[in-house]
Structure 1
Amino acid sequence: MELNRRSLLLLLLLSLLALILLVSSAAAAAAAADVHDDDDSIVARFQRYLRINTAQPSPDYAQSTDFLLSEAKSLALEGRAVEFVPGKPVVLLRWPGSDPSLPSVLLNSHTDVQPAEDGKWSHPPFAARADAEGRIYARGSQDMKCVGMQYLEAIRRLKRSGFAPLRDVYLSFVPDEEIGGHDGAAKLAESDEFRAMNVGIVLDEGLASPMEYYRAFYGERCPWWLVIKATGAPGHGAKLYDNTAMENLLKSIESVRRFRASQFNLVKAGLKAEGEVISVNMVFLKAGTPSPTGFVMNLQPSEAEAGFDVRVPPTADPKALMTRIAEEWAPISRNMTFEFKQKVSPHDALGNPILTATDSSNPWWALLEEAVKKANGKLGSPEIFPASTDARYFRDLGLPAIGFSPMANTPVLLHDHNEFLSKTEYLRGIEIYESIIKAYASHAGPPGDGGSKDEL
């Protein structure tokens, strides 16, 4: 009987040891697998986000919101969706810091993307397929679902490493950037929720770089969407006379063309960067008298319009441009008028250019440079963003905002056919953000103010 008891006890001990070894082996295998296939799982999550069709004018915000809140839950981040405008959710995530009294770090991205002409892509724009070279083709791969997911993946790595932030880190996923951001970032920036976040620095989107270095932006050109209209008496298509609507509009178009060429020549000559000149591009021409088969061919129209997408850098003189528009492009003397569909001032209420400092007065810029360098990346000279982003709504509040999308060795393809980002650059960008977020979230700031807006 005693022998049977000992045998049974020995059997139980052996079984327990085998179970422990099995559990340990499974845990080790799981950890090894987690390390081994981490890149694949990261890329797969990016592809899932890209496959959600959030193209304007009918973005699927419901699906993207569910996806982002699910990702937040998997990372144990606080998450909620706020609708300042019905049907247009702003997803807000929070990684609490140990000292919430310090101004927080805001990582902003937008969920909507530009529409895509399916037939003009080599891969379906919402399939997020990767080719043999590892290029992921999808609308939003550069603009800017990559950045939103890189924020999340960088935080995932930091959490796994045991890093704990000093400052609160917020992530905002906003709608409507591609149509102006008025119901997204603009509403967020003016909200009580935003004031409660106590933001001290904002990171937003930048541009890809065809070179080996990353690009960073400290300001942006502001949109002046200009419509010029000419009027005149209608006339027979065979009659020659002065001051027809079409003739006057063509004179204006030629004047605009000459100005555009003068600005573009500065860029071509290397004297100025693209973001430092005033860009003007005609986007529509509206004239003629419609007929059932097209247009009446023997009638000169009494009205003609042209639309221009004008972008004005903070370093330009808005008053001088307004004078040029009124006196050269749309003079009353030629029966011309003009209006702006959108006109954003590149200067603040005091007339100062709206720019984020890139010198010693702004510690966030130095932290960015050092963090990129620490991650073995290279940062180019600071630039003015050639178009407009949601960062302007935060700069308008006096906050420092930096545009940065870590995509080196990559052609700029935002809003283009066959937009893509390589797996290599996507994964490399996560490492860059890991370094930046760690530096920003650890920054204590000068004694006494902890990095307040006054310091910046």
Structure 2
Amino acid sequence: MMKALKYLLYIILGLMIFTVSRTFLFFPAAQPVKITLPTLSEAETTQIAENLSKAITFKTISQSLSVAPDHEAFTGFHAFLEETFPAAHGVMERELVSDYSLMYRWPGKAGGSKKPIAFLGHMDVVPVPEFGLKDWVHPPYAGTIDERGVIWGRGAVDDKGMLMALLEAAERLVKAGFEPDRDIYFMFGHDEELGGDKGAAMMAARLKERGVQLDWAVDEGSAMVDGIIPGVNSPIALISLGEKGSVTLKFSATEEGGHSSAPKDYTAASIAAAAGVAVTENQYPLVLDDTLERMFTAMASQMNFQNRLVIGNLWLTKPLMKNELSKNPTIAAFMHTTTAFTMMQAGTKTNILPQYGEAHVNYRIHPRDTVDGVVDRARDIINDDRVEITKLGGREATSMSSVSSEGYADLSASIREVFGPIPVAPTLTVQGTDARHYYSVADNVYRFMPFVFEPDGLKQIHGTNEAISTEAMVSQVVYFEDLIRRSAQ
């Protein structure tokens, strides 16, 4: 007995030495890294800020699928771009798609054998609700630049800031005499906020018709984050490899009505509600997949010893890590298809038994799953013939792009060149972007904005007081200039 206990102690001691040594060997601690923002001359900086300020004043709003784009606003914005970036427009071919989307081709030098690359963006913005206007520090379409150099207005971040930074970079490169050794496309949609079906989807279709296959494309949808991921001591650059799909399921039921003084054990409302509750209480299982493992491995050097110990020994600690991550709803959303009971409609009066009821449940679909699979799973969970399941819309998740490609390497190298030696990690986008339309015409599709989001900054997207600092805007320009040179020289 004592001999067996001694062997057990040796095994435990050996495991402890192994796990600790692995932690120090593969995940040594590093000093917290700070982002260094690049600078340009005062005149260049002022001009970049003023250009974005002017861009914000064009009310290129996507109201709804039933409301046509504002012709004057969009065509005015097109003319503004041509006037503001004459050198870039002088060398690029511009094509109008679906009346309002802009598709640019910057031809590469003759004889080049590299596949083209594409930079994506969108010129449309979401509306500003009337009831929220009073909370804006500056009018949302004034493009105000305050005394600190902050540029205020709808689209400053999502997504005119990135669109303008791309054309600023192109303009600077053309003026400097740069000639790309491959074709470069700039694809700016006009309806991204409505799904991109008339903009990005049509531009991708034109590429396909012409036999154009991109090496890679990059869009918004991820960025650098600071103070958002618990336990990480430095900013992290997150490059998204794919994005979730979505579908909303309507669970409806009909039953006899009557007076509420003599009810049955159920009503149409309770049947529909029970279906919504059933799927909500049976969430998809959480999975710590390869992408998440790579993400946390890349961040490990900026975590404390306890976290590095866990990440360095996932062969042993994976269940523990999965359990801890599941406590954070934001991180948990990356681990599975999410299920949210969002709407319920039933009844006309408190003393009348409803004859009809419906519940709406929204799913954000992980690339592991499919729209049809979501429907089948819901049907199995509910297991009630009284419930009719109706699919409202539906968009599949994208595939996941490679972390071993030239494009991912170039994106990572430019991040470190411009912003300093910050960790770069792959991730998944949980919202929808125009990027999903380009998978059929690109070997890889990524999402990365060269912009730092802090916890409060995320509220600006589609929210109140959207703004960007002049320094952050300049940083985007410098980043894209470096990335274009790196990937097309």
Which TM bucket (shorter chain)?
0.7 to 0.9
Aligned to 1:207: 222
- Is the Cα contact below 8 Å between 1:222 and 1:346 reproduced in 2? yes
| CA spacing shift, 1:108–1:133, aligned 2, 3 Å | same
Aligned to 1:293: none
Deviations 1:94-115 (A, max 9, x none): 3222145532121111111111
Deviations 1:403-434 (A, max 9, x none): 01111144213112222222221111211111
| Cα distance in structure 2, aligned partners of 1:261 and 1:420 | 37
1:109 partnered with 2:160:
no
Larger CA deviation: 68-77 vs 413-422: 68-77
**Aligned residue among 240, 243, 261 for 1:238:** 261
1:386 partnered with 2:435:
no
Report the Cα offset of residue 67 of structure 1.
2.1
Larger CA deviation: 315-324 vs 129-138: 315-324
Aligned-partner residue type, residue 285 of structure 1: M
| CA spacing shift, 1:166–1:104, aligned 2, 3 Å | same
Aligned to 2:109: 98
SS of 2:169 mapped into structure 1: helix
Aligned to 1:341: 392
SS of 1:214 mapped into structure 2: strand
* C-alpha RMSD of the superposition: 2.7
Aligned to 1:70: 83
1:186 partnered with 2:198:
no
- Is the Cα contact below 8 Å between 2:410 and 2:486 reproduced in 1? yes
1:358 partnered with 2:403:
yes
**Aligned residue among 465, 473, 488 for 1:418:** 465
| Cα distance in structure 2, aligned partners of 1:285 and 1:271 | 25
Q: Which runs of 5+ in 2 are unaligned?
A: 1-39, 64-68, 227-234, 287-322
| Cα distance in structure 2, aligned partners of 1:142 and 1:267 | 30
| Cα distance in structure 2, aligned partners of 1:46 and 1:261 | 43
Report the Cα offset of residue 159 of structure 1.
2.6
Report the Cα offset of residue 72 of structure 1.
4.4
Report the Cα offset of residue 128 of structure 1.
2.1
| Cα distance in structure 2, aligned partners of 1:209 and 1:241 | 56
Aligned to 1:18: none
| CA spacing shift, 1:155–1:223, aligned 2, 3 Å | same
- Is the Cα contact below 8 Å between 1:201 and 1:364 reproduced in 2? yes
Deviations 1:74-101 (A, max 9, x none): 43232434233xxx42212232221455
Report the Cα offset of residue 262 of structure 1.
7.4
SS of 2:334 mapped into structure 1: helix
Aligned to 1:400: 444
Deviations 1:30-66 (A, max 9, x none): xxxx944110111111111111111122443222222
Aligned to 2:26: none
Deviations 1:304-327 (A, max 9, x none): 223333111113466653332112
SS of 1:125 mapped into structure 2: coil
Aligned-partner residue type, residue 86 of structure 2: K
- Is the Cα contact below 8 Å between 1:246 and 1:303 reproduced in 2? yes
Aligned to 1:301: 354
Aligned-partner residue type, residue 372 of structure 1: I
Tell which structure's C-alpha radius of gyration is larger: 1
Aligned to 2:139: 124
Aligned to 2:94: 80
Aligned to 1:229: 252
| Cα distance in structure 2, aligned partners of 1:145 and 1:384 | 23
- Is the Cα contact below 8 Å between 2:97 and 2:203 reproduced in 1? no
1:148 partnered with 2:126:
no
| CA spacing shift, 1:213–1:51, aligned 2, 3 Å | farther
Report the Cα offset of residue 73 of structure 1.
2.9
- Is the Cα contact below 8 Å between 2:212 and 2:441 reproduced in 1? no
| Cα distance in structure 2, aligned partners of 1:313 and 1:46 | 35
| CA spacing shift, 1:381–1:89, aligned 2, 3 Å | same
Normalised TM-score (structure 2): 0.73
- Is the Cα contact below 8 Å between 1:206 and 1:215 reproduced in 2? no
| Cα distance in structure 1, aligned partners of 2:46 and 2:416 | 26
- Is the Cα contact below 8 Å between 1:72 and 1:78 reproduced in 2? no
Identity %: 24
**Aligned residue among 39, 44, 53 for 1:38:** 44
| Cα distance in structure 1, aligned partners of 2:397 and 2:284 | 22
| Cα distance in structure 2, aligned partners of 1:283 and 1:194 | 40
Deviations 1:377-401 (A, max 9, x none): 4353111101111111111445311
Aligned to 1:274: 333
**Aligned residue among 256, 262, 272 for 1:249:** 272
Q: Which runs of 5+ in 1 are unaligned?
A: 1-33, 290-295, 348-353, 443-456
**Aligned residue among 54, 58, 65 for 2:60:** 54
| CA spacing shift, 1:37–1:401, aligned 2, 3 Å | same
| CA spacing shift, 1:256–1:61, aligned 2, 3 Å | farther
Aligned to 2:416: 373
Report the Cα offset of residue 224 of structure 1.
1.2
Aligned-partner residue type, residue 201 of structure 2: A
**Aligned residue among 339, 345, 351 for 1:286:** 345
| Cα distance in structure 2, aligned partners of 1:66 and 1:288 | 52
Aligned-partner residue type, residue 183 of structure 1: K
Within-5 A mapping of 1:255-266: 255-259=278-282, 266=325
- Is the Cα contact below 8 Å between 2:418 and 2:479 reproduced in 1? yes
Aligned to 1:441: 488
Aligned to 1:14: none
| CA spacing shift, 1:67–1:282, aligned 2, 3 Å | farther
SS of 2:171 mapped into structure 1: helix
- Is the Cα contact below 8 Å between 1:72 and 1:93 reproduced in 2? no
